[in-house]
Every structure is written in C-alpha cells, then in structure tokens.
Chains A and B, each alone.
Chain A
Amino acid sequence: MNPALLALEDGTVFEGRSFGARTERTGEVVFNTAITGYQEIFTDPSYSGQIVVLTNPQIGNYGANADDCEAAQPWIEGLVVREFSPLASNWRSQEEAEHFLAHNDIPVAAEIDTRALVRHLRSRGVMRGVLSTTSADAKELVDKARHAPSMAGLDLATRVTTPERYEWAAGVSPCSPSDVIPDPGPVRHHVVAYDFGIKRNILRRLVHAGAHVTVVPAHTPAEDVLALKPDGVFLSNGPGDPEPLHYQQEQVRKLIGKTPIFGICLGQQILGLAVGGRTYKLKFGHRGANHPVLNRITNKVEITSHNHGFAVDPESLNPAEVELTHINLNDNTLEGFRLRNHPVFCVQYHPEAAPGPHDSHYLFDQFARTMDEFRGADCQSARRSATGASEEAPR
C-alpha cells in the first residue's frame, strides 16, 4: 500500500493511500458534491488545473466506459476520495476506474477524510495544492503548492481548446434498452460552437435540438465565425478565470445582434464581460448536481448541475439591456440572463447535465426556437420567442 499526499498552500497536509498514476500534480483543490457521475467529472475540461475532491465516499464502483466521457481524456489534475473501489460492477463497465485514470497519468489519493477537507475548503475557500503519489516530503509539497499559479487571472480556456475546427453530428446513445432517446430528426440549424473546453454532452444535446455543429477554436475571429453562415453561435463552458479572455469578449461583442447566441458557464461569464459586466471569484464555487435554480420566467425550480468557481455580478449588468432570468436559491447568485434587445441568452449552470438532472434540457430547444425566429431577422420577435419558449419549460 503506497501512500499519497495532498498538501495545501496553507500548510495543511492529508495523507492517504495512492491509486492511479505514480506522479505529482499541482492545481486548485475543489470539491464536488454529486453522488453519481465521477467519470463525467474526470473528463470535463472545465476541471483542467484543478484537483477534485469527491464527497461521495465510494468512488469507482461502476468502473468506466467509453460512452460516459465528456472529452477524449480526463482533465482533472488529480482525484481525492474517501474510498476507491478496485472492483467495477456495471453492465456498461469496460475497465476499472483505476486503470482509466492510471493510463491517463492521473494520481488518486484515497482513504482521505474528505469531509474534513471539504469543511476546511468551505471555511477557508478553495486553495492551491499538490497531490503526490511519489514524494513523502510534506514540507516540500506545501512549498510547491505555494508557488503554483493561482486560478484568479489564469487563462486556461485557450489551453484546452481544440487546435482545429471540426464538425459534430453525433447524438446521445442509450445506456439501456429502456433508455428512450427521441430521434433528433432532420438537421434544421447550423450552430458554430466556440470551444473553451466544451463538454461532449453539450454537442450531443445541440444535435438532439436539430443542429449540425461546427466546433471552432477559442481564438477564432468573429468574422470567420460569421463566414460559416451559422444559424446561431454557442459559447461553451471552460476552465479558469473569464476575465483575461479579452480577445474572446471582443469577438462576442461583434457577434451580438448578428446571430442568436447561447452560452453556458464560462460562456455566460464571457457574455457578461462582453456587455460590460464584472465577474468575481466565489469562495469555494458551485460544484455538484443538486443546486436549486429558479427560472424567473416560468417561476419553476430546476435541480441543476454546477461546476464554476467564478460568477457574473448581477449588480454590474445594465438592467436596461440585460434581464436576469435564473437565480440560485441556495445563495442567490446569478445563474442566467438574456439581452433585452438581442437574441442572446445564457446560463451559469449545466443544462446538458452529465452528470446531473435533466431538468434544464429545454434550454437547447429554446435555442433552436430562437434560431428559427431569428431567420426572420427580427430581434424583437426573437426576444419574445425566448420568453414564449421558456413558458412550458422545464419538463
């Protein structure tokens, strides 16, 4: 049994048992409270630069499979859990979770008092840390943690984005004979998606909303995007601080009004900054699958999937231009807004779920309707439709 060390910048050190890769990784230590979906979390590019603590104490139970990947490989820097299962039991499992992480060079610290760690992060705020399954020198690791780059001001999106533009047309594949997934039907829209670390399930959901998707790198100029004649532009989720992404904010500013825009997570933050708003870092972020979000238009609550450390400050948005559409009922942070005069809307949480509840899938159809109406090139109608669309949602 090899030891694993997790050293935090404030000097706190947790010792556990190592699984996965023999290596050392540095990152911001964050926690996620979702009970299911560890594989989706491993492979969500938004976790790039982060060591993830899972509060569910039993991880690895159902192994790993190709369908549940949100990207080509895992993006977390390291994994911290209470207990890690060496045995995988599920009909879809193709390999043990440990192998999956090991041959992607990701270290695991197991048998850690994750609850104590979470309580620590909750009160002190997330902080930098080093997870090592090779070194036993706690002091040195704490030192390394202190010298690691801090998340604030860090541009990670352009690091994880696709180097090349590519096309996406694949939908969701059923996980069981009883998993009824309606057929996408004929392609009705061409969506250009900015990849800041996009999750595959967003692409799959866009496909089920009738879109053919062209995914473009984070540094693609607005002109090139418009040249692709999109029916709509999508701004993806992604890691790091939105603030330094000035170029992307600039492109988005150019696109507003020329095409319908839908943003998720980092996408919302970039939009917020693009329209003159401010973003700020949350003490310990929102990472989980149980956050209640109130849709102010339908006055209904959605149980939603979250993964963000930064948020848009509602005070910083101009009420004359921006309408706040979604609010988090736990802490009243801003979860979604739309522009009053343009077919532009976004949410801070993850309507594509994966992992998490499906309560918010309706937003993808809302995007499709917005694009339909924009074909008539009338922003007004598009705005109303956005309202109309949300009325019967969420289902």
Chain B
Amino acid sequence: MPRRDDLHRILIVGSGPIVIGQACEFDYSGVQACKSLRSDGYEVVLINSNPATIMTDPEMADRTYVEPLSLEFAEEVIRRERPDALLSTVGGQTGLNLSVALAEAGVLERYGVELIGANIEAIKKAEDRLLFKDAMMKIGLESARSQLVNSVDAGGEFAGKNGYPVILRPSFTLGGTGGGIAYNREELEEILERGLDLSPVHECLVEESLLGWKEFELEVMRDLADNAIIICSIENFDPMGVHTGDSITVAPAQTLTDREYQMMRDAAIGCLREIGVDTGGSNVQFALNPESGRMVIIEMNPRVSRSSALASKATGFPIAKIAARLAVGYRLDEIRNDITRVTPACFEPTLDYVVVKIPRWQFEKFPGAEPVLGTQMKSVGEVMSIGRTFKQALGKGMRSLETGKSSASVTWDEALLPKRLITPNPERLGYLRFALQRSMSLDELHDMTAIDPWFLRQVREMVDLEASIQGRQLDELSAADLLRLKRDGISDNAIARATDTGMLAVRARRKALGVRAVFNRVDTCAAEFESFTPYLYSSYESEDEAAPQPGRKVIILGSGPNRIGQGLEFDYCCCHASFALQDFGVESIMINCNPETVSTDYDTSDRLYFEPLTLEEVLNIVDVERPDGVIVQFGGQTPLTLALPLKKLGVPIIGTDPESIDLAEDRKLFGALLDRLGIPSPPNGTATSEDEAVAVARRLGFPVLVRPSYVLGGRAMTIAYDDDTVRRYMREAVVFSQDRPVLIDRFLEDATEVDVDALCDGENVLIAGIMEHIEEAGVHSGDSSCVLPAIALGLRELQAIRRYTRELALALRVIGLMNVQYAIKDGAVYVLEVNPRASRTIPYVSKATGVPLPKIAVGLMLGRSLADFADLYAGRVDNDSDVAVLRVPKYFVKSPVFPFSKFPGVDPALGPEMRSTGEVMGVGENFGEAFAKAQLSAGTPLPDKGTVFISVNDRHKGDAVDIARRFVEFGFRIAATRGTAAVLKHANVPCRTVLKVNEGRPNPVDLLKAGSLQLLIYTSTGAHSFPDEQELRRAAVAHRIPCITTISAAKAAAEAVASRNRDPIRVWSLQEIHSNATEPIVSSGVRAGDGQHAKGA
C-alpha cells in the first residue's frame, strides 16, 4: 500500500498554548508531521494559536493559521482552504477534541473533509472511559472497578460499596485536571465537585484504588495492513498514584520477565485493534500488582502523546513522523529507518542503554498549593538522560534538572522523613537519598514508598559509592576509583565536594589519569547495524563513536527543562539558530536534555548531544568537538550561567560578550552605565538589614518593589505600600547578605510597560518590535498581554524608546539580540531591565513582522553586518525614524495562559512574579479583534452579553465610568460594589449595587456561582489584597469567568467586545499576511522535501 493519491491538501490541528500536561512535545510531533507530509508531496494547512512553536513558522506549512482553536475559527479555516483530510492525532488532547467537535458539528461532512489518523469511533471508544472498559472486557483485559457518576452522592455510594481511597477522574480533561485521590467522604465531596465542574460533559469516573501497583506504558504503532509494533516500554519509578507525567520513568522496563512483557505486548496490540486505531501511534498504560502479577489496563491515548515524544527520543524512532506517513496509507515496512538506512521502520527498537525521565515542578510559584503529587499532573517540564546503566542515567538526570541546588547543598529535615517518603512529592527522590544516607533499609523504604526494590537498590549503590569517598584526598583516588565513580553517574562536582576540592580539579585529575568521557550513539538496534545519525550521549565506556567532523562548526547550548519563564520560546530560538548555521554552511551541534523539544529531534541539527547543560558535560563535548564557537544567547538563562565559566576556560563564545551580559545583570555597574548614558531608571537602592530597607523605601517613596539579588522570572518580588510590608518581607520572605543585598526600586504605579526586541551588529541597530503591554507595569512582562504595533504611545515616548534602545545596544556592544523593558509614567520613559540575549518574545515578533530574527542574529554572531541581511527585511522597515524599526502589517496581540486551574486555592491575581506557562497570538484588522481572538485562544473568551461586575479602587473610579458606559452600550448589565456603584450612578450609568464578600450575602461569589456574572473587572485596593478579593478571583478561575484585575486590561476588553459585535469571523494565513515579502524566507533546516533525510548525513 503506497501513499494515497486521492488526498492532496491536509489540515493539521496543533495543540495550542503550552499548559501543564501539554507542552512542546506537540510542537515536536506537529513539526515532524508537517515535514514528512510535505516531503511526500502533500499540501499542508496548519492551525495553531501558539506563535512560539516551530510548527507555526511560515516555512513549515503551505498555509499557517495562527488562529483560535475554536469550532468557529477552525470552520472558517476549513471553509477557506477546503482540505481533503484532517490529521487529528498530532495536536495532543486539544487537537483531538477540536477534531471531534468539528466532526460532531457536521463541519467535516459539510466540507467533505476526511478524518485521518484516528477515526471518530476509535477516539470515542478510547476517550470515553466507560466505552473503553467495555471494549477491554470484550478482549479479556481487566480494568479497575469503577463507575461513571454525574453527582457527588453517586460517588459517595460507590465509595461506600468499594471502600476508600477512591480515584476520581473527570471525563475529557487534560492531564487529569480536576482529578484526585479521596481518602474520605470530605475529600470525595471536595474533589468530585470540582471534577464534575471541570469536565466539559459534567461527568467523573470513581474508581477502585490501585495505589502502589507497578505502572508501565507501551508505545504501539499500527498500519493499515494491521502490522503492529512496540516502539518502547516504559516503567515508572514511582508506582501507581503518581501521574506518569509526574513520575520518574525509565526505558526500557527493567523488572519484567519476557513472559510478563509479552503478555503486556499482546494486550497493548489487542487494545489498539479493539479500539480500532487503524494507523499511527498510541500509548497504552498498565498497572501490575507487585505481589500477584495481576495486570490492569489504565487507559490508552489514540494519538501521539507526551510519552511518545519521550519514546521517540529514548529510542531514536520518530513516532510522530512515521504516524503521519501511516495516516496517508504507507505500510510500516515501506518506510525506511533513518538511522540504519538499510533496515525498514517495521521493527521493534532495542536499547543498549537506559533512559531516565525526571519531571520538574514549580510549586514555589503557587503559594497555597500543597506540593503533593497525585493522579493529576503538576509538573511544568521534564528532563531526559541517557546512560549505559540506570545509575549513570539517573545521575545525569538529576544534574539536568538545574534546580539551582546541588543535591548535597540542600538540607533535608529528618523530622519530615517518613512523611516525605510516604506521600509522593517533588522532593521524594532527595529524601530517598537522604534516608539511604541515614542507612534506612531497603525494606523500610519499600514499605513507605512502594517503589520497586530494584530501583531502591540502584539508588543505594549510588549513595554508598558517594559516601565511600567522603573525606578522601583527590590524589588518593586511583584511575579505577574515578572510572567507577564516573561509570556510576557521580558528577565531578560531587567528587569535588567529597574530596573537598573543585570541580575543575577533579576534571583535570581524572583526565590526567585517562578517565575521559566518550560518546555512544542512539541507533535503535543496539549496534547490530551501522548508524548514520550522530545522536550521541556521553558515557565512560572504552570506545568513542562521536566521529567529529572537520570544518567550521558551532555549538548551540539549549535551554534545558521547560519551566515558567523559560520555555518553548527559547527552544524556538535554538532551533532557528541551528537552521541558520546550516544555511550559512556551518555545522550545527545542539546540546540539550529536554525530550519534549524540537531541538532534541536528531533531525534538527547536524549533530545532537543529549546531555545535561552543566559545565562538566559541556566541557566534555567541547573536548571532542573543538567548536569554532559556542552560542549562549538563545537558550534563556541556562546557557548564560555557563557563559562566563566557559569563556574563562578559553571556549570561544560568539555573539555578545559574556561580560556585557553580566554587566546588565549587575545592579551597580548597570546603574553607572545608565547614568553615563543619561537614561532614567526607577529610583532604587539596596539594603542588607530591615531598618536599612525601610530607610531606603522611605527615601525612594512608597510604593516600592523589593526583591532579592539574582532572581529570575520575578521570583520573590513584592510590591510594598508601607513600612510593615517591607519589614515583613525582610523578616520572612528573603535571605540576604552583604554580597547579596535586597534590591529596592521605586514602584511606578499605573505605568505602561513596553518590551523591545532589537538586533545589533555592534554598529547598527534594528529594532524588531516595540510591544506595548496591556496590563500596566507591576504585572510581569511574561504575564501581561502585549500588542504590536504599540497603540497608545506618543511620538516623544517612541522616540525616547528608540534612542535608549540604540544607545544601550551599542554601549553593551551587543552582537545579536537584545531585549529591553521600559516603564512609561507621566510621559517619562524608564528602563526596567536589559537582557542582551534572545527574549521570550522573539518568536512572536518574528511571526508578526515576518522577519526571521534568530537567523539574522546568528548571521551577526558569525561576523556579518545587518546590512548583509537587508533582503530579509527589505520593505518591512520604517526608515522615517532615527532608528530602523520593523513594521507590522496587522494587529498582533500576545496573551499569556495560566495554570491556576491546576492549583486550586492559589490566588490568581497577577503580579511581578511570572506564573504563566504559555502564550497565544491573536491577529486582527484592529486591536479589539486581535485581543478578542487572543483571549479566546487563551481560554478566557469574553462574553458578548450578560452582566459585568465592576469593583475598582479609588484611583480607577474615573476610568471605571467610561468602561461601564461602553459595556452598557454593548447591551450589558452592570453590577458594582457600593463605592464603585455610587460613582457610576452619579455619572448616571445604570447599575445595580451588590454586597462585598465580607458585607453579607448574596455576595459576588454567590452571584458568580449562580451564573449571573459573565465578566469581572476587579482592581485590588493596591496594598496586599484582602481574602475576600482572593476568594472572588479563585471562584472566577474555577467557573471559567474572565476576571480582569487591571484597568488597562478592562479597557482592552471593552475594545474586544466591541469588535465581537462588529467584526465578522475572519482568518489570515501568515503567508498571505507577509506576502509582500520580497523573498520567501526559507531555512534549509526546515525546507520541505528534506523531511526524510536525517541531517547528520
């Protein structure tokens, strides 16, 4: 069965913004699908609201729609494009749900679009937990005893019959959102209520507990000829009860005999056949009773999943790419294995190494959320590591996490030991090691954690080995000792700590003794056949397979695990850096440890090193590759922390000098620079004591913004309106010291914040985008919506911004990209911070302007000048101004997406600490339209009728009147708290007065729950917000009612509503928006046609 010729145009649905449970693994799968379908000669149309993805690059598809993944907009795309088929299986749960919605609304039928990948029946059977259980029973597979309920009482009944604990799983939610484990009636009521509410079908599964069972996953692929293969088996280190997304997982499965593994294999393939997944990849999850071996099937996902991305990276078998080709009719045995070239893709990869995945959590950003792991996924990112043994892989994995703390430096609390072991939590592995150091027995640990004894034993061997060298002299350690340590995954740092020396000393010592890292290949076949793709991992074996190439080469340091503040955007930049290098004829070498990303696709760079981004590992790679340059500008903070050490060791860093990057971070030096340039910044000072802090604050004048030195993503920032807050902050919130003082800035209230991205070649500056934030300064740049072009900035302000930006870029001798944040108050422009590196907004600006910023930046780093790239931005520049600024042909709004629904009890009010996980882009002819689309894509669609609740502090009462008046014009009703109501009535805006939460009932929370409020405009009273405000905001999140907490956002919302009443549903492809381009911008790395051919060739 060769490819289908009756299909010509295929629509791919992306997965939208990054949210917990659905991250850039779907950019990876989407990119693979686009590439392989186009290289097979199909025309690809793409819809995805997430501008930070590689997949939405104009080169990736024939037509790319960055539009809301909603029924109405998707239909409009289909109406315009008339695709022959829709590929539903590479866009995660979002893509799958939208595809189902389109089918059920009859849209696909109306426009004659065929659903390929998985058919509706199969999707239904797999997604609907009841249908699924019946189907499994039919083929003799056991599922956990359970019952679907639509009410709390029904749930209580089941628990009464089957006993507690019970597992609660809302239907059709992502990553188990709203699910949980209930140990008693109270918890049951709490979780079930929330779960039913979050389920789009108001339905929840109550299920028998399998806590403590072993958990496994199998990745299966099947083609139209019913050939079925297992790509990878994954065993969870954490037993059942911890979501696989939150579990440490291991590939291949370690504790199954062939009999048991084959039983699972037969079951998995049987499951695919019964569910009717005719083509593509699916993921099947099993639980296994460790005493009896009883096997229960948990679920299957009839699509490419988070685990399949992991499996692809773990085995070198590109599941999404193959799945796409199977969907258009190919057979597995008609597709070649990229890596061996001679053998077909119809086989089962075999591993001669061990892969470990470790999740990364960020509970610290969500005060009020209990750091406990359960059946709902909470992690924001993950790392993968490859080692020749489990121990080696685990060691690397822990290093890859970049928790900032070395495992030794964190102190563990003896008193917490049993609790932290028994109740799964982000620190469990750490406490496990701690308990082993305390020589707790494997049996005790197994009783507390239910973790398999084999894993526990492995961890103990590592702990013991580290202990065995405690206090030894470095030069006492023999080559054999060091080799054993390295082979078992112990880091140079750990050895340095144990021997009280430095990491570099250890490194020098072991190299002198010939203990060097070598590199092995991931080849899908355990070396049975030759491998042609340089997909490498380090080990301390006897033979090096790196085979570095002669010729010019540059290493790109990736951005490591996704985390809030450093996510997909930076992987986007790294991938483009790689494509650009290839374009410029330079060999691109990628180092990264994040399995979700496009950058860790062996197809992206010429060479891929799947390694932790630590000094140790990077130096090992530099040793074998001897690169002409290393790029640190694109991977966010992670590579920057390595920049200076690498430079000191003589590694050539290209682009902006690490010293300049450092200077921009250093308060004093940077302050001096600003003074010299005469560029204003908010008055500021530093303090190392409570009293000093208060003094400084008084001098600057309240409100002030206090924060510790050296923080990221606005960690631990507070806005203080009075002495008390400052004192409390100094006492409770932060640790400070002489060399790490607390930084205090005058907080600019109601200031407009502006983000600027610019390119600089050392002499000339090109401003790529001047983004005006919707929310005022005080809301972290990553958390506020912003718009291109700026809509409310005056000419003089723009001039100042352009001039400052130019001067800063030149003064910092920036080569490549730079990002500046400004705050504008009363016509004055202040610099908040400068980051001489690629910023979070680069992908968004690239898409809005149609100019490939990372590509130009790489060119500049390679020594070219801006002028050399004129053809890339010709006809897109405003030259009428003193500094060249890129033009945008429409309005582009970027809006953040928040994970609050995953953290019940957390106050969703926005502040200087970044908490969004992802972003979306809205495109429009006017600001309102773009903003409305962005809000829709972000999951907080604005209402077009109903009641608007308004409660603003006195500063905002004036604005509130205008806003309320507009909503009344649009036909909304207004409800307001007494103070606001008075002002409105006085300005004779009709409105009804409601009680404040603390005044009595019915209060706004009651109204909201009763469904009689459709939009909240609620600006907090400035100082620390009151409990009742928090309660209202929390209720809004739970009931998905848009809650606007700043006046400027409220104004924008009014614009958006106006547009919704005025403008038709319309969409534009990026290609047509930028059609005025002189030359289509194409990076070889992603040119259609080379989808099949692995880069390393």
**CB-CB contacts of B338-352 with A at 8 A, as 1s and 0s?**
000011101111111
Any chain B CB within 8 A of the CB of A303?
Answer: yes
In the complex, what's the smallest C-beta–C-beta distance from A89 to chain B, in angstroms?
A: 4
Q: Are B453 and A87 in contact (CB under 8 A)?
A: yes
A176-B263, A294-B333 given; A61·B291 CB < 8 A: no
Task: Indicate which residue in A301, A330, A353 contacts B262 across the interface (CB closer than 8 Å).
Answer: A353
With A91-B292, A290-B348 as contacts: A175 and B259 at CB distance below 8 Å: yes
Inter-chain contact A57/B352, CB cutoff 8 Å: yes
Chain A residues contacting B520 (CB-CB under 8 Å) are 115
A215 CA / B256 CA spacing, docked (Å): 31
Would you give the 0/1 interface string for B285-306, flagging 1 where the beta carbon is closer than 8 Å to chain A? 0001011111110000000000
Within the complex, what minimum Cβ distance (angstroms) separates A291 from chain B? 7
**A103 within 8 Å of B (CB atoms):** no
Q: Is the CB of A292 within 8 A of B346?
A: yes
Contact A92 B293 (CB under 8 A): yes
> Which B residues are in CB contact (< 8 Å) with A355?
258, 262
Q: Tell whether, in the assembled complex, residue B353 and residue A57 are in contact, meaning their CB atoms are under 8 Å apart.
A: yes
Considering only residues 321-356 of chain A, those with a C-beta below 8 Å from chain B are: 329-331, 353-356
Interface membership of B541, Cβ < 8 A:
yes
Residues of chain B with a CB closer than 8 A to A67's CB: 259
Cα-based distance from A262 to B528 in the complex (angstroms): 30
Expressed in whole angstroms, the Cα–Cα distance for A354 and B389 within the complex equals: 25
Minimal beta-carbon separation of B737 from chain A (angstroms): 45
> Which A352-380 residues have a C-beta within 8 angstroms of B?
353-358
A114 in contact (CB, < 8 A): yes
Separation of A79 and B229 alpha carbons in the complex (Å): 29
B255 lies within 8 A of A61 (CB)? yes
B354 contact set on A, CB distance < 8 A: 57-58
Q: How far is the CB of B295 from chain A (nearest CB, A)?
A: 4
- Check B411 for interface membership: any CB of A closer than 8 A: no
| Nearest-Cβ distance from residue A342 to partner chain B, whole angstroms | 30
Point out the residues of chain B lying under 8 angstroms from A358, CB to CB. Answer: 262, 265-266
**B452 an interface residue at 8 Å Cβ cutoff?**
yes
Report whether A113 and B543 are in contact in the complex, using a CB–CB cutoff of 8 Å: yes
Known: A175-B259, A294-B333. A301 touches B346 (CB 8 A): yes
Chain A residues, CB < 8 A from B351: 35, 56
B141, B258, B296: the one contacting A68 at CB < 8 Å is: B258
Task: Tell me if B261 counts as interface (CB < 8 A to partner A).
Answer: yes
A55 touches B290 (CB 8 A): no
User: B527 touches which one: A65, A85, A118 (CB < 8 A)?
Assistant: A118
Contacts of A288 in B (CB 8 A): 350, 526, 528
**B226's closest neighbor in chain A, by CB?**
A300
- Contact flags (1/0) for B223-244 with A, using CB distance below 8 Å? 0011101000100000000000
- Does residue B260 face the partner (Cβ distance < 8 Å to A)? yes
CB distance from B392 to the nearest CB of A (A): 9
Q: Are B349 and A330 in contact (CB under 8 A)?
A: no
Decide: B454 and A357 in contact? CB cutoff 8 A.
Answer: no
Q: Flag whether A34 is at the interface (Cβ < 8 A).
A: yes
Within 8 Å CB of A39, what residues of B?
257-258
The proximity string for A residues 30-57 relative to B, scoring 1 for CB distances below 8 Å and 0 otherwise, is 0101111101100000000000000111
Which residue of chain A is the closest to B453 with respect to CB atoms?
Answer: A89
A175 touches B257 (CB 8 A): yes
Measured between beta carbons, the chain A residues less than 8 angstroms from B140 are: 180
Q: Determine how close the nearest CB of chain A comes to the CB of B1013; give it in whole angstroms.
A: 51
Q: How far is the CB of A83 from chain B (nearest CB, A)?
A: 5
Is residue A179 within 8 Å, beta carbon to beta carbon, of the partner chain? yes
How many A residues are at the interface, by size bracket? Answer: 35 or more
Contacts A113-B541, A116-B542, A178-B295: A329 and B454 contacting too (C-beta < 8 A)? Answer: no
Nearest-neighbour CB distance to chain A for B249, whole angstroms, equals: 15
Residue of A nearest to B526 (CB): A55
The reply to whether A357 and B259 form a contact with Cβ atoms under 8 Å apart is no
Q: Contact between B293 and A115 (Cβ–Cβ < 8 Å)?
A: no
User: Contacts A122-B527, A303-B229, A354-B258 known; A91 to B293 CB distance under 8 Å?
Assistant: yes
Which residue of A31, A61, A82, A299 has the most chain B CB atoms within 10 A of its CB atom? A61
B257 contact from A90, A290, A353, Cβ within 8 A: A90
- Name the B residues within 8 Å of A294 (CB-CB): 333
**Nearest chain A CB to B800's CB is how many angstroms away?**
61
| A62 and B262 contact, CB distance less than 8 A | no
Cα–Cα, bound, A253→B260 (Å): 40
Cα distance, A122 to B388, chains bound together (Å): 19
Contacts of B796 on A, CB cut-off 8 Å?
none
Q: Is A330 a contact of B342 with CB atoms below 8 Å?
A: yes
Contact B350 A115 (CB under 8 A): no
Per-position 1/0 for B508-529, Cβ under 8 A of A: 0000000000001000011111
| Chain A residues numbered 281-322 whose CB sits less than 8 Å from any CB in chain B | 288-292, 294, 299-301, 303
In the complex, which of the residues B347, B452, B526 contacts A292, with contact meaning CB atoms closer than 8 Å?
A: B347
CA distance in complex: A57, B142 (Å): 32
Q: In the bound complex, what is the Cα–Cα distance between A131 and B389 (angstroms)?
A: 23
Q: Are A82 and B257 in contact (CB under 8 A)?
A: no
A34-B350, A292-B333 as given contacts; A175 in contact with B293, CB under 8 Å:
yes
Closest partner residue, chain B, to A294 (CB atom): B333
**Counting CB contacts under 8 A, is B390 at the interface?**
yes
Q: How far is the CB of B218 from chain A (nearest CB, A)?
A: 12
> Once the chains are docked, how many angstroms separate the CA of A175 from the CA of B260?
7
Per-residue CB proximity of A142-164 to B under 8 Å, as 1/0? 00000000000000000000000
| A176, B349: Cβ atoms closer than 8 Å | no
Give chain A nearest CB distance to B701 CB in angstroms: 64
A356 to B353, CA, bound (A): 19
Cβ distance B675 to chain A, nearest Cβ, rounded Å = 60
A356 to B350 alpha-carbon distance, docked (Å): 12
Asked whether A177 is an interface residue with its Cβ less than 8 Å from the other chain, the reply is yes
Q: Is B252 in contact with chain A by the CB < 8 A criterion?
A: yes
Q: A291 to B257, alpha carbons, bound, how many Å?
A: 19
Choice from B227, B261, B389, B527 contacting A119 with Cβ under 8 Å = B527
What's the nearest-Cβ distance from chain A to residue B123, in Å?
Answer: 25
Indicate if the CB atoms of B528 and A33 lie closer than 8 Å.
yes
Q: Is residue B457 contacting chain A, with contact meaning CB distance below 8 A?
A: yes
Task: Let me know if B293 and A116 touch, CB within 8 A.
Answer: no
Q: Which of A40, A113, A177, A299 contacts B293 (CB 8 A)?
A: A177
Smallest distance from the beta carbon of A24 to chain B beta carbons, Å?
23
Contact B261 A36 (CB under 8 A): yes
Q: Does B332 interact with chain A (Cβ within 8 Å)?
A: yes
Q: Does B1048 contact A (CB under 8 A)?
A: no
Q: Given A56-B351, A113-B541, check contact A177 B225 (CB 8 Å).
A: no
Which A residue's beta carbon lies closest to that of B1?
A299
User: Is residue B254 contacting chain A, with contact meaning CB distance below 8 A?
Assistant: yes
Q: In the complex, what residues of B have CB within 8 A of residue A122's CB?
A: 527-530
Residue numbers in B under 8 Å from A289 (CB-CB) = 258, 348, 350
CB-defined interface of B353-364 with A at 8 Å, one 1/0 digit per residue? 110000000000
Say whether B353 contacts A36, CB under 8 Å. no
Closest to B540 in A: A113
Q: A119-B543, A300-B226 are in contact. Are A176 and B293 (CB under 8 A)?
A: yes
With A and B bound together, what is the CA distance between A356 and B333 in angstroms?
A: 19
The closest CB in chain B to the CB of A328 belongs to: B343
Closest 10 CB pairs of A and B: A37-B258, A176-B293, A355-B258, A55-B526, A178-B295, A175-B259, A89-B454, A290-B348, A36-B258, A116-B543
If A115-B352, A292-B344 are given as contacts, then 6 extra A-B residue pairs at C-beta distance below 8 Å, sorted by A number, are A113-B542, A178-B141, A179-B259, A290-B347, A300-B225, A358-B262
Residues of A at under 8 Å CB distance from B? Answer: 31, 33-37, 39-40, 55-58, 61-62, 65, 67-68, 82-83, 85, 87, 89-92, 111, 113-116, 118-119, 122, 175-180, 288-292, 294, 299-301, 303, 329-331, 353-358
Q: Mind listing 16 A-B residue pairs with CB under 8 Å?
A: A33-B528, A34-B258, A35-B233, A35-B350, A36-B261, A37-B258, A39-B257, A61-B454, A83-B389, A91-B291, A92-B257, A116-B543, A119-B543, A178-B263, A290-B350, A356-B258
Chain B residues in the interface with A (C-beta under 8 A): 140-142, 225-227, 229, 233, 252-263, 265-266, 288, 290-296, 332-333, 342-344, 346-354, 388-390, 452-454, 457, 487, 520, 525-530, 541-543
